[in-house]
Every structure is written in C-alpha cells, then in structure tokens.
Amino acid sequence: MQLIFAADGTMSDTMEMLTGTAVRGLNILGSLFLFVLGILAAAIIILFIIDVTQTKDTVRRNYPVLGRFRSIFSKLGEFFRQYFFAMDREEMPFNRAQRDYINDICDDGHETVPFGSTKVLAPGEAIFANGMFPKLEGMHSPHAPYIIGADAKRPYAPTSLFNISAMSYGSLSKPAVQALSHGAQMAGCWLNTGEGAVSPYHLEGECDIVWQLGTGKFGARNDDGTLNADKLRKTCEDNPDIKMMEIKISQGAKPGKGGILPAEKVTAEIAEIRGLKEGQAAISPNRHVDAGSPAELLDLIHAVREASGLPTGIKFVVGNIAPIHDFVKEIKKRGKASAPDFIAVDSGDGGTGAAPLPLMDNMGLSIREGLPLMDDLLREEGLRDRIALIATGKLITPADVAWAFCVGADFVNAARGFMFALGCIQALKCDENTCPTGITTHNKRLQRGLDPTNKAVRVMNYCKTIQKEVEMIAHSCGVDHPHELTRDHVMIVQASGRSKPFSQTWDMSRYM
C-alpha cells in the first residue's frame, strides 16, 4: 500500500495536508485555551484585589472571590425554593396553590380538582357552614342593586361585587394598565387608578373608574399639596367613566407613610401625568396636608364630592382606634350627610406598593381584624346603612372573598390577584424596574412580553370566576346572594381543632 501511495503521490500529499491542518488546529485551540485561561486568571486576580480592599462585605474581604458565591447561591436559593423545594401551600406571601388556582381559572374560567383537598385547616382558618336544604339552581331571588352615594350628584350602582384595587400607572407598566382597563370593561367591574392620577391607559378600555387621590393628590393638586378643585372638576367632567372618588389616608404596604415611586420609574410621561419632573422620585407626604384632623378630613371629603359630583369615600388601614372614634363622632355631630359614601379597609400586611419592611411587616391591623372592627364600629354608631364597606388586602380566592362578605363587606377589591391574572410570577422585583413579566417595569424590552389583548381576557376570567364561585358559596350556605351572608355562616377553626361561628369568636370589646 505504501508503494502504491508513493507511486501515485496523491494520497501521500493528502495525508501530509490533513496532518498539517490537524496540527495547526490543535495549536490554535491550545492558544485559545491559554488566552481564555489568561483572561480568567486576570479576572480572578482583579476580583481578589477588589475583595480584599473593599470594606462593605466581611465575607468577601476574608474569603476573596470565593465569598462571592454566597450571594450567588442566595439568589439561586430563592429560585430553587419557589420551583423545586417549597411545598404547594408553604410559600409567602402567596403560595403555589393560590397562584396555580388563579392561573387555571384565568386560562379558561373554570377549575376543578380531583381526589380531595390538600389544605390543612390550621387554627384561624375559615370553614363555611353549608345549609341542609339549599335552593335549586335557577330558584335564587334577584338582589336589589347596591347604590353607593345615593345623595351624590351622580350616584353609582356597581355591577360587580369583586373589583380591581388601587394600582397606579407608574407602579404598573403601560401594557399592564391597558390589560386591566379592557379586562375590567369585559368583566363589568371597576378599576381603581391608584394614587398616580388618571392616565389615558386607565380610561382606554372605557371601564368604570375609581379615581384615587393619595396624599400627593396627583392630577388635582396645587403646588402646596392642597386640593385643586378646578382640576378635579374638569377631569371628572371630561371623563364620564370616572364613577367614584377615593381619598387614600393610608395603604396596607406602608400605613402612616406616603406613597413611594422610585425615580427610575418616573418617565417623562408619568411625570407629566403626576405633575413631577422626569427622574424625580414621587414621594407623597405621610398625610394630606389639608386633612390633619377629623373635621378637616370631612371638609376635604365634602370638597372632593362637591367638585367631582361623585360618591366620595376614604381608604385606610385600621390601627389606632381613638382617631377613628373621633372621626365617627365628628360625622354624628355634623349629620349623616357629611359622612364618606364608602370606607375601603385595607390590610396592614403589605401590598403591591414598595415600602420599608418594618411598615410592611409590623404596622396596622390585618383585614382579618380591621374589617369586622370597622363594621361593628359603624353599626354601633348607627352609620352602617349610610357608609358602604369595601374590603381589600390579600383577598384573592373565593373563600377569602366570601369570608369578607360574612364579616361585613359590601364589596371586595383585589390587587395582587389581578397581578397574577396579568402573569405575575412573584419574582419580587416590583421596585427594581426589572420585572421579568413586564408588569411593574418601564423597560420596553421586558414590557414586550405582556400582550394586553391576551391578558385582558385573563383579567375578565379571573373576576367573573371569583364572583361566580363566591355566589356558589353563598348558595351552598342557603342564601340567595353574598350580601346575605352573616357571621354565623363562617366557622373559625380553634386551637382544639374544633370550629366555632365567627359571631361567637369575635369580641370587639378587646379593642376598646
């Protein structure tokens, strides 16, 4: 064979060429490997020098380079716990079972599960007391429309018991607000603007709008933070879809502290809507500058109601009971006509807004205490028939919502439930402008993944399904409508494992 190759010459030349190419390739790979190795060594040396000379991180200073893996693993741990290690009902603030439930009903408006419940009924959990002889389907009596602000120039009769709570354009992205607006219109529920004023995207879907005036009064403020009645009047006259006004006293994320929108989320458009400078953090005062007492708050309610012509209420987290008593006494002194048309009771255990952790974790009563307490207080003072009660704060499942109706709510609002409907994965990046689902970011690339048309349908499915299943709970309890649910219809699991009606476990006197 060697002789044949040599005689011809062609095969020998080919072998030499292939061998040379292979050698050159190995030389290139070797050089490339040495180059990468050199870059890696240089990077390690640079990181080593940075770590041993910096003074902010003790671990990195004592264990240069290697200490950086602690931070990396901490961030990866959050991911792995969410997807692999946390049980379905363990995660906080909302567990996988809750998120999966919302995702399922948002897809097609229907959700059933086989083989029994996986929920452990711990002390404090609610169980609904089913009736022995519930009515057959189609035999339930219709319920009269609920009118909010019957004496206002433009009273409001909501068509949905379950509605979208306050989320501003600014805290949420443009496509997120667009999806909520169109979804609210399809579902027949209202959409609360949050404290960032009325944006074109709230109005885009032509749904019912509740305009929230936070302590910054964005959209209707004078330079000194007082109410600009002319701006308020014009906006309401120009936009008939605005149905109610909500004066925010406090919110669950940070009771007693004003709203916070980080500077990086204040775009040119948001700045114009709110009356700020682009890139200027929107920090609202801790209270309305023109409402520092019960009398001044009633004056502000009156001014807003007169300028807007709309039912006007207030939103706050129940905390110190004394000033609430003083407020109620001032109402009785002036007469029922001076009262707010509704009170939205928020929960003190956090919300959609960015907030300091101590306020989010440890300030204000939760909705589980605040709602029945407010209901009792208004009944005791003879004002319950005058003031509608709206409950909000982590009430995202039919059981949560039905519980609220049992203990005193006339309507229920949700924010984070609707964020899950928009596709929220609880990445906890709301305040960093890096939300991976495009919901709470103004990064155009990240927003691109959020299709308002698709998400509006999910918003509609979520709202309608929650309302339908709350009505199902009411019918199972033997009543025609959620407004007929009482404290005897919900049982609270005790430490012994047995349950008692809420009417027997709740004691308002403990708060007086």
Is residue 130 in some structural domain? no
Residues 173 and 31 in one domain: no
pLDDT tens column, 404-438: 999 999 999 999 899 889 988 887 777 677 888 88
Is residue 22 in some structural domain? yes
Q: Which of 141-155, 171-185, 272-286, 287-301 has the lowest mean pLDDT?
A: 272-286
DSSP codes joined into one string, 292-327:
SSHHHHHHHHHHHHHHH-S-EEEEEE---HHHHHHH
Is residue 63 in some structural domain? no
Cis peptide before 482 (omega within 30 of 0): no
Is residue 77 in some structural domain? no
Is residue 248 in some structural domain? yes
The answer to whether 146 and 160 are in contact (CB under 8 A) is no
Count of beta carbons in the 10 Å neighbourhood of residue 7: 10
pLDDT tens column, 369-412: 999 999 999 999 999 999 999 999 889 999 999 999 999 999 99
Question: In the prediction, which pLDDT does 8 show?
Answer: 52
Report the alpha-carbon distance of residue 373 to residue 380 in Å, rounded.
11
Report the alpha-carbon distance of residue 55 to residue 491 in Å, rounded.
56
Q: Residue 220: give its domain's CATH number.
A: 3.20.20.70
Count of beta carbons in the 10 Å neighbourhood of residue 241: 18
The answer to whether 27 and 35 are in contact (CB under 8 A) is no
Mean pLDDT across 489-511: 90
Residues 250 and 384 in one domain: yes
Mean pLDDT across 321-341: 95
Question: Is residue 7 very low, low, confident or very high in pLDDT (cuts 50, 70, 90)?
Answer: very low
Is residue 423 in some structural domain? yes
State the residue range of the domain holding 39.
Answer: 2-53
Residues 46 and 188 in one domain: no
> Over the chain, what is the mean pLDDT?
87
Is residue 500 in some structural domain? no
pLDDT at 5 over 70: no
Report the alpha-carbon distance of residue 106 to residue 165 in Å, rounded.
18
What's phi and psi for 228, nearest 5 deg? -100, 95
Higher-confidence residue of 348 and 469: namely 469
Is residue 174 in some structural domain? yes
Report the alpha-carbon distance of residue 463 to residue 451 in Å, rounded.
18
pLDDT at 511 over 90: no
Total structural domains within the chain: 2
Question: In the prediction, which pLDDT does 278 show?
Answer: 85
Question: In the prediction, which pLDDT does 2 show?
Answer: 46
Mean pLDDT across 479-498: 95
Greatest mean pLDDT range, 63-72, 115-124, 175-184, 216-225 = 175-184
Residues 31 and 168 in one domain: no
What pTM was estimated for this model as a whole? 0.84
Question: In the prediction, which pLDDT does 411 show?
Answer: 98
Instruction: Please name every residue paired with 315 in a beta bridge, in sequence order, or none if there are none.
Output: 248, 344
Helix 398-407 vs helix 452-476: crossing angle, to nearest 10 = 50
